[in-house]
Amino acid sequence: MTLEGTNTFVVGERPVYVIDPGPADDGHIAAIHAEADRRGGIKGVVLTHSHLDHSEGVDALGAPVLAGERAGPFETIPTPGHAPDHVCLLLGDVLFSGDLILGEGSSYVPPDGGSLVAYLESLRRVAELDLELICPGHGPWITDPAAKVAEYIEHKLDRERKLVAALESGERSRAALLDAAWDDVPQELRPAAAQVMQAHLEKLEGEGRLPGDLVD
């Protein structure tokens, strides 16, 4: 589970739209139904991406899943990186960011051949928007969107700078590279950090900046 769980948003009145119904937890689904019924029922469900912690509860809501350039009242903005099918949902100056941007900490970007490149491009796309509020898929709302997006971009680039510096110094051991660039990560999170590092290494390889003699 990420942070305290998945944020589900019930948007509008008579009827409502449900963003990311979350896991198929009976209590959670009942709470969504109760709020939606109080406000005129569910018109449709919109997903930021298909990971189960965001999408598993869809069937239990019994409402159509909306997609396309516009999904109900939302403009859908393709933002791959965390997941290939990830989108953010824009409603006026409010962005529902799914797992692109979290209310606390940083988002996991898996190694799948170019995902980190896509993720950074997605962040830059969001940085161009004039936002007042970001409602993330996990964690609290973000009331200074521009600062948070800039923080996210800088965080990824700072990791890359540390990784490149270690490579340029002649380091080739993956364990030592992890120590150099993810030195602040606690031991229990090192396996996840190693996966994130692999995404960085794939980005460098795609850009022709990765030495070919890394060792495990």
Query: In this predicted model, what pLDDT tens digit does every residue of 34-86 receive, in sequence order?
Result: 999 999 999 999 999 999 999 999 999 999 999 999 999 999 999 999 999 99
**CATH number, residue 199:** 3.60.15.10
Query: Bigger pLDDT: 114 or 109?
Result: 109
**Does residue 213 fall inside a structural domain?**
no
Task: Indicate whether 113 pLDDT > 70.
Answer: no
DSSP lists the bridge partners of residue 10 as 18
Residues annotated as catalytic are 53
**Does residue 21 fall inside a structural domain?**
yes
**Does residue 172 fall inside a structural domain?**
yes
Domain count, the chain: 1
Residues 6+ apart with CB under 8 A from 160: 200, 203, 204
**Does residue 2 fall inside a structural domain?**
no
Give the pLDDT score at 2: 54
Q: Which two tokens stand for residue 157?
A: 């680039």
Give the pLDDT score at 1: 42
Q: Which helix (H) or strand (E) segment is 77 a member of?
A: strand 74-78
**Does residue 109 fall inside a structural domain?**
yes
How many CB atoms are located within 10 Å of the residue 29 CB? Answer: 19
**Omega cis (within 30) before 15:** yes
**Does residue 68 fall inside a structural domain?**
yes
